[in-house]
Each structure stands twice: as C-alpha cells, then as structure tokens.
Amino acid sequence: MVAQRLDGKVCAAEVEKDLLSRISACVENGVQPHLAVVIVGDDPASHVYVKSKVKACERLGIRSTHVGLPAASTEDDVRKIIGSLNEQDDLHGILVQSPLPSHMDEESLTDLIDPMKDVDGFHPQNLGRLVQGRMDGMLPCTPSGVMRMLSWAGIETEGKTAVILGRSRIVGMPQSLLLGSKGVDSTVTVAHSRTKDTAELCANADIIIAAVGRPEMVTEEWVKEGAVVVDVGINRVDDSSRERGWRLAGDVHPDVAKKASWLSPVPGGVGPMTIAMLMENTVRAAEQSIES
Ligand code: NDP
C-alpha cells in the first residue's frame, strides 16, 4: 500500500477560500477582523511562524498587528500589553507566540487573555469547554486543524482506535478530547514519555497522531497496514546534503508511507492547517463581536 497524501496545503487553501466570504460579510458590517501577534525575544523559528501568520492575514484581508518585544522584557511588560489589547474594541484575536523566554510563565499570561479573543484556544475557559464536550469555544488550532484534515479526506473516525503520541496542553491533550468527542467517536489512547508499550499500542491503532517532537520516531514497524497517520511534529535535523545544513523532519519516518493508507507530510501537512484554523478563529471572534 502507498499512502495517500493528507495534504494540509490543499485543505488549508479550501478553508481560507471559505473564509473570504465571511470576512467580506464582517467588513460589510463595519468590522474588519483583526489579529494581534505578540512575540518576545529573537527565536528564529518563532519569527518564521509569526511571519507565516501575518502573511496569511494579508492574503485574506485580516488586519494584523505585530507586537515585538526584546527577550529581556519582563512578564509585567507582556501583562500590560495583553491588558491593552483586551481593551481594544477593534481587535478580535490575541496570540502570544510560544515559547516565551524561560523567565516568563506562559500559562499565567494565557490566563489574562480575554477568552473571546483567545484565538489560540489555550485559555482555561476555552480548554474547559472542550473538556465538557462543548465545541462552542475557541478550539486549539493544531488539533482542530488535524480534525478538519481528517474530515476533508473523508476519513472515518467512528469506532476507530486512535493513539495520540504526546499529551501537551497545546496538541496531544486537546487532540485526544477532540478525537474522543461525541460525533467523532474514536476510542483514544494517549501515550507519553512514560508509556511502556508505545510501539505495540501504535501497531494496533487505526489512527495514529504523532505530536512528540522526536524526529522520525514512528517507524514502519509501528504501523498497521492501512492505518491513518498524522504527523504533527516539526523537527530541525542536521543534513549536510542541504546547502543550509539542515532539513525539517516530522515525528514519523517517511517509510511509513509504504503501510499507511493516509499520511500527512512535513512540511505541508498539519502546519498550514494550524494557520488556517487560527484565521478561522479570528474571523469567528470578529463575527461574535458583531453579534454581541
Ligand atoms: P511538547 O514537548 O510540549 O510535548 C511533547 C509530548 O511528547 C509530551 O507529552 C511528552 O511526554 C511526549 N513524549 C516525549 N517522548 C515521548 C516518547 N518517547 N513516546 C511518547 N511520547 C513522548 O511538544 P508539543 O506538543 O508542543 O509539540 C510536539 C511536536 O509538534 C513538536 O515537534 C512541535 O514542533 C510540533 N508542533 C507542530 C505544530 C504544527 O503546526 N505542525 C504546532 C505545535 C507543535 P511527557 O508529557 O511525559 O513529557
């Protein structure tokens, strides 16, 4: 079997196309969707991510405000910025780019974002709704992007066994809630760094979502013939054959394509979906500001 490509670029382009008419409707109501991205420090990868988000805003006609702070800024500096962005009526989404410098407490800063503007979906009120099985809050972008991609490809989830590799607040944990939610109805196992029989769990799974941050950890032997494999991982690995000396690798070995029925590529899989979902959350926040 050769896996079909779970093409995040194509799916994200469709999501963005659908957003255009919603954005026009907002503008007709006198509201231009507006996203603020706060970045602290000079981590090169974070700056690349922020650039892609700002570019997506430009493509769609979403206004973006980029707030860049030096690495030496204090947590209080970020608090003040979040406070003033919360107050800004013409601004609908606030994203604080992760990771923050180690002297800052990311979670307590997330707590300060107005839940209605929490387009990352990490505020306890939004994550709490997800735990309750309510899908009416802001859903975290990466796991909701994975769900959208599965549904776009027509992949059946009901009654399937799914293994999520990773239990982070940002990806693995919300992913497990979404896949196990009513209406999606997979039976979910979450594996983490202390799980003993990870390879065996995967070998019995219909769906594997890898969100670990370990290059090419999931090998062909771990995967059942015909399984659906989604690779969330983005890892930079040395590669002297490339001019720049490195390449991007996922958490899944490319040979898995020989056994899986579907496999998402890295890059071009979950990454573009994450950005598309961020755009969708921003538009939704703008729509809600019109309704309220
Ligand atoms: P974290 O480091 O926060 O979490 C990693 C998780 O993997 C933890 O739960 C950890 O377990 C678990 N883990 C570590 N080793 C193993 C192992 N051997 N077997 C099973 N589980 C293990 O990472 P994130 O969730 O933030 O990100 C995961 C990956 O996804 C990264 O490569 C990241 O770059 C990528 N990513 C991609 C995005 C995209 O848009 N495509 C968006 C966000 C992230 P424990 O809890 O026990 O420590």
Report the Cα 43 to chain-centroid distance in Å. Answer: 19
Structure tokens at 33: 């969707």
How does pLDDT run across 167-221, given as a tens digit for each residue? 999 999 999 999 999 999 999 999 999 999 999 999 999 999 999 999 999 999 9
Same domain, 249 and 156: yes
Residue of 43, 148, 212, 231 with the most ligand 1 atoms within 8 Å of its CB, for mutation: 212
Same domain, 266 and 145: yes
How does pLDDT run across 67-84, given as a tens digit for each residue? 999 999 999 999 999 999
Amino acid at 31: V
Mean pLDDT of 132-138: 95
Residue 235 in domain: yes
pLDDT for residue 283 = 98
Mean pLDDT of the chain: 97
Atom of ligand 1 nearest to the CA of 269: 41
Residue 292 in domain: no
Same domain, 93 and 188: no
Residue of 7, 49, 193 with the most ligand 1 atoms within 8 Å of its CB, for mutation: 193
Band (58; pLDDT cuts 50, 70, 90): very high
pLDDT for residue 292 = 86
Q: Rounded to 5, what percent of the chain is helix, strand, coil?
A: 40, 15, 40
How does pLDDT run across 231-263, given as a tens digit for each residue? 999 999 999 999 999 999 999 999 999 999 999
Q: Is 270 in the pocket of ligand 1 (CB under 6 A)?
A: yes
d(C-alpha 95, C-alpha 75), whole Å? 15
Same domain, 171 and 231: yes
Report the Cα 226 to chain-centroid distance in Å. Answer: 25
Same domain, 82 and 162: no
Q: Could you tell me the CA-to-CA distances from 203 to 43, 113, 163, 256 in Å, in that order?
A: 37, 41, 10, 12
Residue 111 in domain: yes
Q: Which residue, 188, 104, 96, 204, is CA-closest to 143?
A: 188
Going by alpha carbons, the residue nearest to atom 34 of ligand 1 is 234
pLDDT for residue 1 = 81
Residue 289 in domain: no
DSSP 8-state secondary structure symbol assigned to residue 100? P
pLDDT for residue 38 = 98
Residue of 190, 234, 237 with the most ligand 1 atoms within 8 Å of its CB, for mutation: 234
Sign of CA dihedral 75, 38, 269, 254: negative
How does pLDDT run across 23-41, given as a tens digit for each residue? 999 999 999 999 999 999 9
CATH number for position 109: 3.40.50.10860
Same domain, 163 and 227: yes
Same domain, 108 and 181: no
pLDDT for residue 131 = 97
Going by alpha carbons, the residue nearest to atom 17 of ligand 1 is 193
Atom of ligand 1 nearest to the CA of 270: 41
Mean pLDDT of 111-138: 97
Atom of ligand 1 nearest to the CA of 251: 32
How does pLDDT run across 136-167, given as a tens digit for each residue? 999 999 999 999 999 999 999 999 999 999 99
pLDDT for residue 175 = 98
- Does 87 score more than 90 pLDDT? yes
Residue 177 in domain: yes
pLDDT for residue 172 = 98
Domain count, the chain: 2
pLDDT for residue 218 = 98
Percent of the chain whose predicted confidence (pLDDT) is above 70:
100
Q: Is 52 in the pocket of ligand 1 (CB under 6 A)?
A: no
Q: Could you tell me the CA-to-CA distances from 223 to 2, 177, 192 in Å, in that order?
A: 13, 22, 17
Residue 7 in domain: no
Domain with 197 in it: 141-272
Contact, 179 vs 230, CB < 8 A?
Answer: no
Atom of ligand 1 nearest to the CA of 273: 40
Residue 156 in domain: yes
How far does residue 12's CA lie from ligand 1's centre (Å)?
22
Contact, 228 vs 155, CB < 8 A?
Answer: yes
How far does residue 167's CA lie from ligand 1's centre (Å)?
7
Q: Which residues are catalytic?
A: 53, 97, 120
Instruction: Count Cα atoms within 13 angstroms, Cβ side, for 34.
Output: 15
Same domain, 102 and 152: no
